[in-house]
Structure 1
Amino acid sequence: MNTAVRPRTGPTDRGSGTRLNSDNSTRSRFHLSAAARSLGLRALAVGGFLLLWWAVARAEIWPPVILPPPHAVWEQAVATTTEGFSGSTLPEHLWASMRRILTGSGYGTAGGILLGLLIGLVPALRVMLGPLISFVRALPPLAYLSLLVIWFGINEEPKIWLLIIASLPPVAVATADAVRNVGPDYLHAARSLGARSWRLPLWIVLPHALPEVITGVRIAVGVAYTSVVAAETVNGLPGIGGMIREAQRFNQTDIVILGLFVIGLSGLLIDGILQRIDRILAPWRGRT
């Protein structure tokens, strides 16, 4: 007579399961407390900055035209959102700048990835184009804005081209460096498994270089944000840079500071989205 052997679930097994649940619960509470602590520190930093700003403005060390109080900037935010400034509301100014930034950095990113792949994979192109990319990267945007205005006029074309030229070199350099760091063992293994040579850049090289490419994209978007005010100094209305330029002409410091805050906060939002994309597309970053 066969007797089935039943698995024994003694006190040790039950204790092990209890410990696992306890460890998971402890880890979850630790992550929650770390997130809450991080959020609290950020709120404390922002509150401290606003308090210091209010105290300095209250002491009237400088006149309001130099340093307006925080409530003046807030009032201008409400007024420009509801009533507008220079013919457009604050959301319309922001959307015009965001459209230029996303278009320019989008084209610059696509061109930078393609150029970086070519430079990283073809030594002859690396020798010819590498110094040119470094030369363009060293140029400040205002240095070639006047030339772009002569070439393309004062409409949207010079603004988009300025942002393309400003954002392309960081992506190209990051991509080329990442491509050169791809180990030859990966390429040999792919060839031994039957991969064609023309498929290696898309199947092996680019996925391996993806974390560095995304870092280059983040840098490129940051460069585009720093260049948008320069791009919108020429016929930049509507646009945050144009709004800042127009307010500067009439010494409206509160609107200038409002524009800086809007650019900074929208830049943080875009960078947070890019970091999220980085975690999704390259989850192995920082892990062994």
Structure 2
Amino acid sequence: MVKRALLVRVIAVAVLLAAWWLVALATIWPPAILPGPGQVWHQLLSTSDAANGQAGYAGSTLVERLGVSLRRVGYGCAYGILIGVVLGLAMGLLPVVRAITEPAVTFLRALPPLAYLSLLVIWFGIDEEPKVYLLMVAAFPPVAVATAAAVGGVNRQYVEAAQALGAGRFEVIRAVILPASAPEIITGVRLAVGIAYSSVVAAETVNGADGIGGMVLNAQRYNQTAVVILGLFVIGITGLVIDSVIVAAQRALSPWRGRV
């Protein structure tokens, strides 16, 4: 079954690439608007080559740029997930905290990243801080909402049984509430990482030319469509890989999910 699903996905990708190649070959649009797969592949090779006399694209190879962006996403997500889990636990366990913080969390969750990027730049300048904080603010609301919902949905009988056996408040949280809430929390983490990674281009609009999003923005200014498409492919493919890792972690931590 798994092999069949993989084969179907490979065929689907091959069909899409073939359609793209045929449309580019028909020159319905000029190459400056829609480059073919061969041009994008050439850009992949040239931007990945540090020995071509230009060190990849604008002084950095594709791998170096991807590493910079992933570092920013990693820091932003780590801070956002930590804040989201702690705040979500408080919201799920304490109705007063939920009443106070839920409107603010919902407000932030509704805002697109570019809406508060300018404010972060005013507060923290144009170095790494506003980029990391933007990704952090983008990441923590989904985790907080998922954690609060998961904690609020824990079966009270499990909590009462643990308390009857002498478990204290923190022991109940550690041994009962967190394990029972783990699948939903990881789902929130999955959403948060996806939102943060999709926001990396917005984060790198400010002094972020060394990242993969900065490469896309720079190529857009000079109408280098093949480089833009390459950057989008890199962001999308690495996003799929990261999402697959999170899904694998979710299955490992909660193997019973979907089977009961």
Task: Identify the residue that residue 214 of structure 2 maps to in structure 1.
Answer: 242
Which TM-score applies when normalising by structure 2? 0.97
Which TM-score applies when normalising by structure 1? 0.87
Q: Distance in 1 between matches of 2:195 and 2:87?
A: 18
Task: Identify the residue that residue 158 of structure 1 maps to in structure 2.
Answer: 130
Name which of 198, 222, 226 aligns with 2:170: 198
Task: Identify the residue that residue 4 of structure 2 maps to in structure 1.
Answer: 37
Q: What is the 5 A alignment of 1:170-181?
A: 170-181=142-153
Q: What is the 5 A alignment of 1:19-168?
A: 34-82=1-49, 83=52, 84-168=56-140
Task: Identify the residue that residue 7 of structure 1 maps to in structure 2.
Answer: none
Where 1:64 maps in the other structure, the secondary structure is coil
Aligned length: 255
Q: Distance in 2 between matches of 1:280 and 1:213?
A: 14
User: Which range moved further: 237-246 or 162-171?
Assistant: 237-246
User: What is the one-letter code of the residue matched to 1:75?
Assistant: H
Q: Distance in 2 between matches of 1:106 and 1:67?
A: 37
Task: Identify the residue that residue 257 of structure 1 maps to in structure 2.
Answer: 229
- 1:40 Cα deviation from its structure 2 partner: 1.1
Q: Distance in 2 between matches of 1:233 and 1:181?
A: 40
Percent of paired sites with the same residue? 56
Where 1:173 maps in the other structure, the secondary structure is helix
- 1:36 Cα deviation from its structure 2 partner: 2.0
Q: Distance in 2 between matches of 1:74 and 1:233?
A: 25
Q: Distance in 2 between matches of 1:36 and 1:278?
A: 21
Q: Distance in 2 between matches of 1:199 and 1:161?
A: 32
Where 2:30 maps in the other structure, the secondary structure is coil
- 1:287 Cα deviation from its structure 2 partner: 1.5
- 1:86 Cα deviation from its structure 2 partner: 1.3
- 1:51 Cα deviation from its structure 2 partner: 0.3
Task: Identify the residue that residue 24 of structure 1 maps to in structure 2.
Answer: none
User: What is the one-letter code of the residue matched to 1:54?
Assistant: W
- 1:198 Cα deviation from its structure 2 partner: 2.6
User: What is the one-letter code of the residue matched to 1:261?
Assistant: F
Q: Distance in 2 between matches of 1:79 and 1:182?
A: 53
Q: Distance in 1 between matches of 2:154 and 2:253?
A: 18
Task: Identify the residue that residue 181 of structure 2 maps to in structure 1.
Answer: 209
Q: Distance in 1 between matches of 2:150 and 2:3?
A: 36
- 1:268 Cα deviation from its structure 2 partner: 0.6
Task: Identify the residue that residue 250 of structure 2 maps to in structure 1.
Answer: 278
